[in-house]
Chain A
Amino acid sequence: MWKFILPIVAFIALAVLFAFGLNPNRDIHAIPSPLIGKPAPLFKLTDVSDPSRIVSNADLKGQVYVLNVWGTWCVACRQEQQDLLTIAQQHVVPIIGLDYMDERSKAQQWLQQLGNPYNAVAFDTDGRTAIDWGVYGAPETFLVDGAGRVIYKFISPMTQQVWAREFLPRIEAARKGGA
């Protein structure tokens, strides 16, 4: 007798699974970052506008900072530029840019045309730094605490709402935590 009820029971389980899958808060493309809680990878790269200048996050030790990964090829990065500028004007934390898979001249043009929200922009010539940070698509934004640990990663264009909702509370907590 039970074997005739099995199919409908199996379907109910399937329907529940699908209902869960439809949850709008799910991001099917999101891949949890294994870097959370781990030390941020150190990099020492050249500045995108001035190849003789070095940009390194070793200099930021002791500070809470944000690393924003972008490229001129990335359409979504264009979207977040405005919001980043507004956020930068609040001068909450240093915002370091990591420009990858790109050309210097294009990047310089971009910053001139659209504005520069970054304290400094590191140019990832060969993509190795991006790999070290587990970057797989731009834009991606990391939050690093004063002890040099990655505490948050956000994938998607940055907006002011996200900044207020996800980043500000964490920045405050990190600062209180002592750094």
Chain B
Amino acid sequence: MRGPALGIALGALFALLPALGAPAPVPAPGPQDAVDAYGELRDPALERRYEHIVAQLRCLVCQNESIADSNVELASDLRRQVREMLIAGRSDEDIFKFMTDRYGEFVRFSPPLEPKTLLIWGAPFVMLLLGALIILRVVRQRAQQPLDDTPAAGASDSS
């Protein structure tokens, strides 16, 4: 339920380059070992989804950090939870629902795009429109006034 607006914003802030180097030599291979020795997901697509999801979940202890940024135990427990659900093949939506079922809407870092939050997501565009209208109005008004080519008076002129 995310709109393109969210996509742009996320793209601006959170688009990450796939790691430019290959992870260093890794120990014991295991067929179901989806997580490497560093604790990261082996599958780059999964890792990317992981990073995207944890950046979108709020750490409820600190409340203004995402669980990606927070150092507290709850955050690392929840990160582990997200990883496990990704490995189990759950969709992004499922994972978000898991979290909101337990912690409520507040755990989402941004409000989901729905009618009641349009006031927030739509605000920038409304402002853009309003701003353009104001500018238009002032410009039209001023264009019709004399240009006053006399040098600007330094002393006072009353209102």
Contact = CB atoms under 8 A, between A and B. Distances in A.
Q: Do chains A and B touch in the complex (CB under 8 A)?
A: yes
Interface of A: 29, 31-35, 101, 126-128, 130-134, 136-137
A131 B84 CA distance: 14
Nearest to A33: B104
Given A101-B73, A127-B77, 20 more contacts: A29-B63, A31-B60, A31-B103, A31-B104, A31-B106, A32-B104, A33-B104, A34-B100, A34-B102, A34-B103, A34-B104, A126-B77, A127-B73, A127-B74, A128-B81, A131-B78, A134-B102, A134-B103, A134-B104, A137-B61
Contact of A136 (B61, B81, B101): B61
A136 B60 contact: yes
Contacts of A136: 60-61, 74, 103
A32 B100 CA distance: 11
A126 B103 CA distance: 18
Main SS of the interface on chain A? loop
16 contacts: A29-B63, A31-B60, A32-B104, A33-B104, A128-B77, A128-B81, A130-B77, A131-B77, A131-B78, A133-B102, A134-B103, A136-B61, A136-B74, A137-B60, A137-B61, A137-B74
A108 to B, nearest CB: 20
A30 B73 CA distance: 19
Nearest to A34: B104
Interface centre among A32, A34, A128, by most B CB within 10 Å? A34
Interface string B56-84: 00001101000000000110011001000
Contacts of B106: 31-32
Nearest to B77: A127
